[in-house]
């Protein structure tokens, strides 16, 4: 039985119908002695068809098909390659044996979609692995390579070749026969180990509803008859599937894949890239170099500070070794990557580079100097990329005589960890540069998002609007810890003032100073950050910023100095400080993001609304389970969005620009496949 529904053989309704018909044929035709289920193309089965989730369920349902496989008197073997995920693994678990190629990955990633396995996975997996492992795997959605899954008892055999032959051989072997997993007993484990697994899963999964439900249902595997537990699993699956959280997670799943698509005129052949030069051996440059080395590029790291360069080279070699020790890459890859790294302290070093990425100090004059050198020393046709996070790509490109080769590649720190990459086209960027930047990003296993050139591109521009609104709320009456707590309660990984202290206030201070001359005095400006910096409070690194960090730990509240600075700012603006509730804070911060997102869409800085969500979720700690600011806005009643816009318009005063909500709220096929 070959399942063919390319690209990933998702179990959509026609596939389910055909699979059930095949199982019925196997059952009824006497000359058939057993069955092998295979996937066509590059994979076994990636699970249920997620696109069907927003719609009513159509028969036959997976649990019924799996019951038919188990009750079929003839043995059925699942032959796995590529991915056996979600419903795909559940299908394999309903078979009598599972045989896989070593490269196969298996897992139950449903919690990442806000649901739990809905076709027996919560009951069959623990019967093979025990409760603790099943809780860990189902609550994290972790995907395992075949050998690891075999060790845990999930697979019967791993074969290096001839998967189909091995599956048929199994059917012909002495061990062939009916072995329904549902009839097995869950292996005994100590109750305290199960409790520990449960606590760890709740902590790691932030006690999200799917995680809580998964634990309850998985534990039933050892206490409740199979059919009854299966019914509980299905009920929980259906409830979760209809939740806004699951809709948001589906939205972001498809948005991530959509982000990679370029408009027709930019779908061009990417320029070939083998050698990458990175200018600047600081944290960002080194992180980019590490990513490129791991992806197989030859890397030249250049810095005129020879001491920093040598240090960075040593660190990169150590990091590669450490990643090999941690099993993230093989030892052979680590050694070979070390050999592909060259350190250069002069511009002549970049002559061979196909792509140069500048990651130097964020200052236009410094960038100009670098780009003049790149113009002189880079080979013709090389892509000249800047990692600027705010500056104008066109202004940077103006330092060269080849503006068409200049592109923004905005990495996020730490660059070897963060998946987001903003690919920024300048007004003069050649039409093949977008495809080149996107292809390069994908080769680094990153999530590239195309942006237009404008202050802060997508991410920093929206974050700036959000942080500015939070500063207004400081002046209006809320303390830093109240704002941080409200936004952390909403789901942000960290509140804005904790983030500012972590990344250092001096960077923002310098930028404010650089832009001071262009600031209209009529715009609302909160001087708190400047005051803090003038007192040497640059954040964590100086043990003081918006908070105190005596003994390296954040104080419970802001200290008297900070409160005095904030109160003085309020008084100077003639504000009688008043209480802002958690909801006030959350809605003002969120609507500021939404308003900026609407402007970004109008200005075509973002190609599509869902790209904005991808950027905020992957680069700024926006809670994935809310789906991003656009998805959040689409879940709100229009009248409340309008009311909140009025509130921030009044709080902002002069210069407030109201975004066009229609453009943001309009759902198109392009920006939301879910």
* DSSP string covering 381-404: T-EEEE--SSS-HHHHHTTSS-GG
For the segment 456-515, give every residue that binds ligand CAA (CB under 6 A): none
Residue 85 or 100: which CB sits closer to ligand CAA? 85
Residue 58 φ then ψ, to 5°: -115, 140
Residue 259 or 529: which CB sits closer to ligand CAA? 259
Among the listed ranges 5-13, 321-329, 584-592, 642-650, the one in contact with ligand CAA (CB under 6 A) is 5-13
* 10 part of the interface to ligand CAA, by CB under 6 A: yes
| Alpha helices for 552-667 (secondary structure H) | 560-572, 582-602, 609-619, 629-635, 638-652, 661-665
* 196 part of the interface to ligand CAA, by CB under 6 A: no
Among the listed ranges 6-14, 147-155, 293-301, 380-388, the one in contact with ligand CAA (CB under 6 A) is 6-14
Question: Which residues are bridge partners to 407 per DSSP?
Answer: 385, 425
CB of 276 to ligand CAA, least distance (A): 23
CB of 86 to ligand CAA, least distance (A): 2
Among the listed ranges 86-94, 281-289, 320-328, 406-414, the one in contact with ligand CAA (CB under 6 A) is 86-94
* 7 part of the interface to ligand CAA, by CB under 6 A: yes
Task: Give how many residues touch ligand CAA by CB under 6 A.
Answer: 23
Are 208 and 623 contacting, i.e. CB atoms less than 8 angstroms apart?
Answer: no
**DSSP conformational letter for 606:** B
How many CB atoms neighbour CB 351 within 10 A? 14
Taking the C-alpha atoms of residue 672 and residue 674, their distance in angstroms, rounded to an integer, is: 5
**Residue of the chain from 3, 15, 19, 46 that contacts ligand CAA (CB under 6 A):** 46
Residue 118 or 621: which CB sits closer to ligand CAA? 118
Cβ-based neighbours of 368, under 8 Å, separated by 6 or more: 396, 398, 399
Residue 106 or 434: which CB sits closer to ligand CAA? 106
- DSSP run (H or E) holding 164: helix 163-172
Q: What is the separation, in whole angstroms, between the first and last Cα of the chain?
A: 29
Helix/strand/coil for 107:
strand
Structure tokens at 276: 């990458």
Candidate list 9, 286, 291, 460, residue with the active-site label: 460
Candidate list 150, 251, 410, 416, residue with the active-site label: 410
422 tagged catalytic: yes
Are 40 and 30 contacting, i.e. CB atoms less than 8 angstroms apart?
Answer: no
For the segment 62-81, give every residue that binds ligand CAA (CB under 6 A): 62
Residue 90 or 294: which CB sits closer to ligand CAA? 90
Task: Give residue for tokens 């193309």.
Answer: 41
For residue 72, the number of C-alpha atoms closer than 13 Å in the C-beta half-sphere is: 32
Candidate list 422, 471, 482, 596, residue with the active-site label: 422
Q: Sheet containing 420-425: which strands, arranged edge to edge?
A: 341-344, 298-302, 275-279, 355-358, 383-386, 406-411, 420-425, 447-452
Cβ-based neighbours of 192, under 8 Å, separated by 6 or more: none
**Residue of the chain from 34, 87, 126, 180 that contacts ligand CAA (CB under 6 A):** 87
Are 469 and 648 contacting, i.e. CB atoms less than 8 angstroms apart?
Answer: yes
CB of 85 to ligand CAA, least distance (A): 4
CB of 432 to ligand CAA, least distance (A): 22
Residue 8 or 407: which CB sits closer to ligand CAA? 8
Helix/strand/coil for 601:
helix
Bond before 391 cis per omega within 30 degrees = no
Output the CA–CA distances (angstroms, integers) from residue 15 to 5, 59, 666, in the order listed. Answer: 7, 11, 33
For the segment 236-255, give every residue that binds ligand CAA (CB under 6 A): 254
Structure tokens at 127: 């019967």
For the segment 90-129, give every residue that binds ligand CAA (CB under 6 A): 90, 109-110, 113, 117-119
Residue 121 or 496: which CB sits closer to ligand CAA? 121
Helix/strand/coil for 18:
helix
Among the listed ranges 14-22, 47-55, 321-329, 638-646, the one in contact with ligand CAA (CB under 6 A) is 47-55
Torsion of CA 551, 556, 559, 565, to 10 degrees: 120
* 666 part of the interface to ligand CAA, by CB under 6 A: no
CB of 398 to ligand CAA, least distance (A): 37
* Max CA pair span of the chain: 91
Residue 253 or 463: which CB sits closer to ligand CAA? 253
Residue 15 or 356: which CB sits closer to ligand CAA? 15
* 48 part of the interface to ligand CAA, by CB under 6 A: yes
CB of 103 to ligand CAA, least distance (A): 12
**Residue of the chain from 51, 379, 535, 667 that contacts ligand CAA (CB under 6 A):** 51
Nearest residue by C-beta to ligand CAA?
A: 86
Among the listed ranges 84-92, 363-371, 438-446, 508-516, the one in contact with ligand CAA (CB under 6 A) is 84-92
**Residue of the chain from 49, 245, 584, 671 that contacts ligand CAA (CB under 6 A):** 49
Question: Which residues are bridge partners to 383 per DSSP?
Answer: 355
Candidate list 5, 222, 389, 558, residue with the active-site label: 389
CB of 115 to ligand CAA, least distance (A): 6
548 tagged catalytic: no
Identify the CA nearest to 564 among candidates 577, 582, 581.
577
Residue 106 or 276: which CB sits closer to ligand CAA? 106
* Alpha carbon 672 to chain centroid, angstroms: 17
- Contact mark string toward ligand CAA, 400..439, x via CB under 6 A: ----------------------------------------
389 tagged catalytic: yes
- DSSP run (H or E) holding 341: strand 341-344
Output the CA–CA distances (angstroms, integers) from residue 631 to 63, 351, 449, 460, 593, in the order listed. Answer: 32, 46, 17, 19, 12
Binding site for ligand CAA (CB under 6 A): 7-8, 10, 46-51, 62, 83, 85-87, 90, 109-110, 113, 117-119, 254, 257
| Residues with catalytic roles | 389, 410, 422, 460
């Amino acid at each position: 039985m070959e399942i063919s529904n390319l690209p990933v053989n998702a179990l959509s309704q026609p596939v389910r119908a055909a699979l059930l018909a095949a199982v019925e044929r196997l059952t009824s035709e006497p000359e058939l002695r057993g069955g092998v289920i295979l996937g066509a193309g590059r994979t076994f089965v990636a699970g249920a068809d997620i696109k069907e989730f927003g719609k009513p369920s159509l028969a036959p349902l997976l649990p019924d098909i799996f019951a038919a496989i188990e009750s079929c008197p003839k043995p059925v073997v699942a032959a796995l390659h590529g991915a056996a995920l979600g419903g795909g693994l559940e299908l394999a678990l309903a078979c009598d044996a599972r045989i896989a190629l070593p490269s196969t990955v298996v897992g139950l990633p449903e919690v990442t979609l806000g649901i739990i396995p809905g076709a027996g996975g919560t009951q069959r997996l623990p019967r093979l692995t025990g409760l603790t492992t099943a809780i860990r795997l189902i609550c994290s959605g972790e995907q395992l390579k075949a050998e690891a899954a075999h060790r845990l008892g999930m697979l019967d055999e791993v074969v290096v070749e001839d998967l189909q032959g091995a599956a048929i051989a199994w059917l012909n072997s002495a061990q062939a026969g009916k072995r329904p997993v549902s009839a097995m007993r869950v292996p005994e484990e100590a109750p305290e180990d199960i409790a520990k697994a449960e606590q760890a899963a709740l902590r790691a999964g932030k006690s999200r509803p799917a995680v809580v439900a998964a634990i309850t249902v998985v534990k039933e595997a050892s206490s409740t008859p199979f059919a009854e537990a299966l019914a509980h699993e299905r009920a929980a699956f259906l409830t979760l599937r209809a939740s806004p959280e699951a809709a948001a997670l589906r939205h972001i799943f498809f948005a991530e894949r959509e982000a990679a698509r370029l408009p027709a005129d930019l779908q061009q052949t990417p320029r070939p890239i083998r050698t990458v030069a990175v200018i600047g051996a600081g944290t960002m440059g080194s992180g980019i170099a590490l990513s490129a080395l791991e992806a197989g590029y030859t890397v030249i790291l250049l810095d005129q500070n020879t001491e920093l360069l040598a240090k960075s080279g040593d660190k990169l070699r150590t990091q590669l070794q450490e990643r090999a020790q941690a099993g993230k890459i093989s030892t052979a890859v680590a050694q070979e990557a070390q050999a592909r790294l060259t350190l250069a302290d002069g511009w002549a070093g970049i002559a061979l580079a196909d792509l140069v990425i500048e990651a130097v100090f964020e200052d236009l004059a410094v960038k100009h100097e670098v780009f003049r050198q790149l113009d002189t020393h880079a080979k013709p046709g090389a892509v000249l990329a800047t990692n600027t996070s705010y500056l104008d790509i066109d202004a940077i490109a103006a330092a060269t005589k080849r503006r068409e080769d200049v592109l923004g590649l905005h990495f996020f720190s730490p660059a070897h960890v963060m998946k987001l990459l903003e690919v920024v086209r300048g007004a003069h960027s050649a039409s093949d540069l977008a495809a080149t930047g996107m292809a390069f990003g994908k080769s680094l296993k990153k999530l590239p998002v195309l942006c237009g050139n404008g202050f802060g591109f997508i991410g920093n521009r929206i974050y700036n609007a959000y942080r500015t609104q939070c500063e207004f709320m400081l002046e209006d009456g809320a303390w830093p810890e109240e704002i941080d707590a409200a936004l952390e309660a909403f789901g942000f990984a960290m509140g804005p003032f904790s983030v500012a202290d972590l990344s250092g206030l001096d960077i923002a201070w310098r930028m404010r100073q650089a832009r001071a001359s262009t600031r209209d005095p009529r715009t609302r400006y909160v001087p708190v950050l400047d005051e803090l910096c003038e007192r040497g409070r640059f954040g964590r690194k100086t043990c003081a910023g918006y908070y105190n960090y005596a003994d390296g730990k954040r104080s419970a509240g802001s200290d008297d100095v900070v409160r005095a600075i904030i109160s003085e700012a309020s008084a100077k603006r003639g504000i009688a400080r008043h209480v802002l509730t958690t909801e006030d804070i959350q809605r003002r911060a969120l609507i500021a993001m939404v308003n900026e997102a609407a402007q970004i869409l109008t200005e075509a800085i973002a190609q599509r609304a869902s790209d904005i969500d991808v950027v905020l979720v992957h680069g700024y700690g926006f809670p994935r389970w809310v789906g991003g600011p656009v998805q959040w806005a689409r879940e709100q009643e229009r009248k409340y969005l309008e009311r909140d816009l009025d509130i921030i318009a009044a709080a902002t005063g002069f210069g407030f620009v109201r975004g066009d909500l229609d453009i943001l709220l309009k759902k198109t096929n392009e920006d939301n496949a879910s």
